[in-house]
Amino acid sequence: MDRPTLNFEGISVGDELPPLKKQITAARMMAYGAATWDFIRIHYDADYVRGLGFDGPFLDGQMMGGFLAQQVQDWAGPGAFLRKLSFSNRGMTYPGDLIICHGIVTGKSAENGEELVTCDLWAVNQSGEKVVQPASALVRFSARI
C-alpha cells in the first residue's frame, strides 16, 4: 500500500500479483450497501431473500470489482492509474466465505509515452471454486495526465 510505485521496466509478463484475501462477513456486506447507497434487501434480509428462492443474503457481485481494484492498485503502487477493469462473476458468495484474488501480468506496451501493463485476474473461494473469472485489468504506469 504505502510503498513506491513499481518500476515499469522491472515488470515482466508472467509476474504474479500478490494474492489478496477477503473474509466476507455480513457486516462488510452491510457496510458496502451503505457506502454505495444500495439498500436492496437481497444482501441482508434473510427471510426476504429466501422468499425469492435464494439460499440467503449474498454478496453484491460488484464488491469483487472493489477487491480486484485494491489488489491491482496495491501491487502497482500509488503512482499507477487503473485504466480498465473487467470481471465476470461465477456463482454466489455468502457471509463466511473467504475470497482470494489472484493475478498475473499478461502484457506490456509503451506507445506514445504511455506505459501500459495488462493483467489477467481471477478469484476463488475457500473451496477452490472460481467465483470471478475471467477478469482483467489495464494499468498505466506513466505520469498522470
Partner 1 sequence: MDGEAADALIDKLRATIGMETVFQSPDEFGRSSFRQYALAIGDFNPLYTHRDFARSHGLPDVMAPPTLVCDTWQFADSDIDEEGRQIALKDELGMRGLRAGNTYEFFQPVHPGDIVTAKRRTKDVYVKTGRSGRLLFWEVETSYHNQRDELLATNVETMFLRL
**Binding residues for partner 1, per CB under 8 A?**
1-2, 5, 22, 28, 31-32, 34-42, 45, 52, 60-63, 65-67, 69-70, 73-74, 78-79, 81-89, 143-145
Is 123:85 a contact under the CB 8 Å cutoff? no
Between 10 and 27, whose beta carbon lies closer to partner 1?
27
Beta bridge partners of 90: none
Spatial distance between the Cα atoms of 80 and 6, rounded to a whole number of angstroms: 8
Between 14 and 64, whose beta carbon lies closer to partner 1?
64
Between 42 and 100, whose beta carbon lies closer to partner 1?
42
Shortest CB 108 distance to partner 1, Å: 19
DSSP-assigned letter for residue 128: S
Task: Say how many C-beta atoms besides its own lie within 10 A of residue 26's C-beta.
Answer: 15
Shortest CB 42 distance to partner 1, Å: 6
Between 105 and 137, whose beta carbon lies closer to partner 1?
137
Query: What contacts 50, CB < 8 A, 6 or more positions away?
Result: 56
Is 93:59 a contact under the CB 8 Å cutoff? yes
Shortest CB 55 distance to partner 1, Å: 13
